[in-house]
Amino acid sequence: MEKPLILMTNDDGITAPGLRNLVRFISEIGDVVVVAPDSPQSGMGHAITINNTLYATKMTTVDEDGAKAEYSCSGTPADCVKLGLQELLERKPDICLSGINHGSNASINVIYSGTMSAAIEAGIEGIPAIGFSLCDYTWKADFSHAKEFVQNIVREALENGIPPGVVLNVNIPKLEKHEIKGIKICRQARANWKEKFDKRTSPMGKDYYWLTGEFELLDKGEDTDEWALANDYISVVPTQFDLTAHHSIQQLNSWDL
């Protein structure tokens, strides 16, 4: 039987350890084709390139991680998926995987995440998709403990399918393998970023700003991704890209419009 074809991308760049580890993990399951940004694209959300040229260079000097082919793309994570599906893959992939991201994409972070936007772009195109993140922002993060969990989730998704209109947002706590209690199917926690700008002045006398902030958890529920991660579980949130607030339609129909 033909092996599953797996499109893989990320937002930390094609050389990021999270992606390199994911390629190694998943090449044991199927044929991996990587289309990933040539430089870090964290926080890009679902941005796409419309006013510039896009380049995709086939890599010949990548690590021996087991990928069938790898392309370095000048665009955003969403661009990578679009280009992979429309131009670079020989056939429709069986699944798209994004990550493993360096840092959490739980709760409100999913809105800003290039990792999850890449997965959502695949979902929009009817491809089952999963975004993986490790709650460790360091470049030298240890991804080894995630291997069996990641492989199990991908195998289950390939065997059972993911509901139409849904992609999976998977976050893995920064723990040793024996410390992880299991996997929880969760909802997205209500949270926000309390943001501010650090205003500075360049040597040339021009003002510039650095965005800073603190994460505010507004949700005390024990069925959320943030609760699962805080209690040593891997969180899996089914995420939809239909942004319609269906519960509000009846109320808005009462307006005198």
User: Beta strands 95-102 and 129-134: pairing type?
Assistant: parallel
Kindly provide the b/e burial profile for residues 29-54, where b requires at least 16 CB atoms within 10 angstroms of the residue's own CB.
Answer: bbbbbbbbbbeebbebbbeeeeeeeb
Query: 52: closest CA among 74, 35, 37?
Result: 74
Residues at the binding site are 11-12, 42, 101
Q: Which helix (H) or strand (E) holds 249?
A: helix 249-253
Residues at the binding site for a divalent metal cation are 11-12, 42, 101
Query: 119: closest CA among 87, 88, 162?
Result: 162
Phi, psi dihedrals of residue 129, rounded to the nearest 5°: -145, 145
Q: Contact at 8 Å (CB) between 236 and 184?
A: yes
Phi, psi dihedrals of residue 58, rounded to the nearest 5°: -70, 130
What gap in Å lies between CA 66 and CA 28, rounded to an integer?
Answer: 8
What gap in Å lies between CA 177 and CA 145, rounded to an integer?
Answer: 5
What gap in Å lies between CA 104 and CA 113, rounded to an integer?
Answer: 9
What gap in Å lies between CA 129 and CA 98, rounded to an integer?
Answer: 8
Q: Contact at 8 Å (CB) between 171 and 133?
A: yes
